[in-house]
Amino acid sequence: MTHLIGGEAVYKAIIEKAVDKAPMNFVFDATHLYQLRYDKGTKDGLNWITNQALHIVTTDKRYTTPDQELNFVYSTTEDYEKYWKFYYAKLPYLLFYAVTVIDEIVFGLLPEQIDHKRVRAYRRIIVHQVFRGVSGLAEREEKNSFNDLLAELIPDLIYTCTSCQAQIEPTVDDLIWFAFNNVFLCPNCKHDQLGDPTFRLKFHELD
């Protein structure tokens, strides 16, 4: 059981400060993060499903085990599909936030590697949104706005290949390939641009 030392306001304030320090923090909502992790009164959080998974019977009035039932024991195939969809709609977002916080701490100790932090932040955002799209979690408007966001990044990522010297304008597919494979390949010679510090600095100029 999670005990909120200091109360809800303290936890929300900590999350808000962490979000404020995160690069590309428009993807995070401090209130939603609090609800997912700590709010026991909402069905939108993880508390009810994790507690029922840990205990064969739960007596909390917010997710009491029905009479003559046992948590998850008599679940049907449809129930399991519902559980999986719920869990994987929530957990990746929390992991995304957790890794972002970890990166802020680690790269704070490695200032000479700061350009890599920004590259990692962009990869995570793209992967997260692609996951939401293919899993059916994102609404059509969200998918469209994300595609528009990627398209807006392209003019600032135009580069001269450090190997073949070609002037390259990346595509949305190039950005998605970069996110999943951690390479930014020149379409002409397949040279990875991420090895060039000047190219990595382009990500610092993006908002």
Confidence at residue 8, expressed as pLDDT on a 0 to 100 scale: 83
Rounded to an integer, what distance in angstroms lies between the CA atom of residue 50 and that of residue 80? 14
Same domain, 63 and 35: yes
Per-residue model confidence as pLDDT tens digits over 55-71: 999 988 888 888 888 99
pLDDT cut 70: percent of the chain above it? 88
- Stretches where the chain sits below pLDDT 70 are 1-6, 132-146, 205-207
Domains identified in the chain, total number: 2
Same domain, 100 and 168: no
Confidence at residue 143, expressed as pLDDT on a 0 to 100 scale: 57
For the beta carbon of residue 95, count every other beta carbon within 10 angstroms. 12
Element spanning 159, H or E: strand 159-160
Same domain, 104 and 117: no
Q: Of 81, 109, 137, at which residue does a domain stop?
A: 109
Confidence at residue 101, expressed as pLDDT on a 0 to 100 scale: 93
Range of the structural domain that residue 48 is part of: 1-109
pTM of this prediction? 0.76
Where do runs of H (alpha helix) occur along the chain? 8-21, 30-37, 47-54, 77-108, 114-134, 140-153, 172-181, 197-200
Where do runs of H (alpha helix) occur along 55-113? 77-108
194 in Cβ contact with 119 (< 8 Å): yes
Q: Of 47, 82, 109, at which residue does a domain stop?
A: 109
Q: Of 109, 124, 148, at which residue does a domain stop?
A: 109
